[in-house]
Amino acid sequence: MTHTHDQAMNYVYQQVLQRLLSFFSRAERTALQLMIQRLVVAAGGMERIGDYKVLAVQSGTRDSCYTLALLRAAQLSIAGRAPATFQLRVATLRSNWASVTALENIHRSCSALFLYDDPRVEMLMVDNREVLPFNHLAPISDAGRESNRLNLLMVGHRRDSNGPLDLWDEGYLTTGEFYGQIARWDRGVDAMISSETPRQQKQFLEGLNRAAVKAGLKASLPPETGFEELFSRLDEMGGDYYREFYPQGAQAAWRPAERFEACRRTTFIDIHDMLVSNLEERWPLLTDFLRFQPEELAVQLSDNEYVSLTICAHLRGLQSGFVQGRSYETGVAEYVQRTLVLMRRKQMPERFCEQVMEKLGNPAAAADQRALASSEAQKSLGLSESQLVCLLFAPFVDNGASLERFLRQCHPGMLVALPDLHRAMQGKPAPEQVLQWMVDVSGLPVSLIATLYRMGPVAAAEVPGVEEDPAVSHAMMPDIDTDGSVPVERSTGR
């Protein structure tokens, strides 16, 4: 029975491979053979390939789904010509910024590739530091959502209030910790595969470094060779990247603890040079075979994987209205105009420009757009508009250096309570109404506000190798590649 079942499944897998290959161009088939060769060499020869395990991080983005299809083609191609093939671990990080569409894309892709129930494939997800079987229908746990929210606020509040709006660096830190831990789960993996460009790898490492400094961890030297340095950098940072913010034991431990290897053997295999087709040529494979459903604007303008275009524009509007003394609409309009300039520089279809204008650039609908953006931030990030404004001012760090400015600008009625606020942040008794106001306006418990009070802000100049233009932020504006194009998407994020 087992032999018959295995024969039947092998036939199914070969049918999947043939259909998958039918979507590949000649150049992609050549690239696939080179990928197979690279994997076999890394494993130490075809005779060892059956004991070789590869990690593919899956986030439901276009590029990560495409990369997974290439890896599956390599796995099944080797299986058709050798006694064994490499094992594949597909891992997803559950977070507040992961959309329902992204999770459904992961499920549809994995179903089309017949990854479920294949004993050579592990389908995993991590929720609040717990490794679980992947389930696209399971919502993120309440504990995981709250942990994400608090981490975002704690890292975000470490910024210099006059510096760039890198408010979402927590995403780099959480993702880095995820990479390091999932690579040593259950006897670990031999290699992590990535199709990100050198520029994208450098951007991630810079974001990770910037976030590490904000979390009170030691800064690293500027990256020189991309993700080849990733795991050594993760090891330098230790096991818990948020340990400086919380009392020992306050955050969930990685679990089940007994299934994590003490040492990691993982190396990095870069395959970005093998993605030979252009984006338009990939769409039949993505949409017809993997049943990928793009979030069109996100696909074209994923300026930061951890926060949406709508929330980016909303934050620019809030910064303009509350911090700079201008109007909310002015900040949004400036964001939209810069976005359109970059889209047209990239010669993107005009329909995408029209979508941006329709979504964000209609002055007559500004109030409705603001309400929708505020609702999205509350739903996905767990933050109200007043808490986002508080984050923009970062009023608690450096012994509350910006607190009076924040109160004068946004809460003048609380100026009389300024001495009580300082006492509360110093751990001294304060009126209950003052303590409750602190919690409501920040989204943080008073104990964590007191932690921020004892910590200083982190300026861009303090992070080695990261030079910032105060007018531009990684998280808030579309970036520009060295060739003048707008990067469309990173494969490790939202």
Nearest Cα to Cα of residue 345 among 478, 490, 202, 164: 478
Average pLDDT of the residues in 143-172: 90
Most confident of 147-156, 266-275, 325-334, 373-382: 147-156
Confirm whether pTM is higher than 0.95.
no
Average pLDDT, the chain: 86
Rg (the chain; Cα; Å):
24
377-435 confidence digits (pLDDT tens): 999 899 999 999 999 999 999 999 999 999 999 999 999 999 999 999 999 999 999 99
Q: At 367, is the pLDDT very low, low, confident or very high (cuts 50, 70, 90)?
A: confident
pLDDT > 60? residue 467 = no
Q: At 158, is the pLDDT very low, low, confident or very high (cuts 50, 70, 90)?
A: very high
CB atoms within 10 A of CB 403: 22
Question: Cα(304)–Cα(284) distance, rounded to whole angstroms?
Answer: 26
Tell me which of 15-29, 121-135, 306-320, 352-366 is least confident: 352-366
Q: At 350, is the pLDDT very low, low, confident or very high (cuts 50, 70, 90)?
A: confident
Q: Taking a C-beta distance cutoff of 8 angstroms, is the pair 317, 486 a contact?
A: no
Tell me which of 1-15, 37-51, 225-239, 387-401 is least confident: 1-15
**How confident is the model at residue 297, as a pLDDT?**
59
Q: At 475, is the pLDDT very low, low, confident or very high (cuts 50, 70, 90)?
A: very low
Average pLDDT of the residues in 55-68: 92
Tell me which of 191-200, 241-250, 342-351 is least confident: 342-351
Average pLDDT of the residues in 470-489: 36
pLDDT > 50? residue 329 = yes
**How confident is the model at residue 473, as a pLDDT?**
41
Average pLDDT of the residues in 353-373: 80
| Residues listed for the chain | 494
**How confident is the model at residue 39, as a pLDDT?**
96
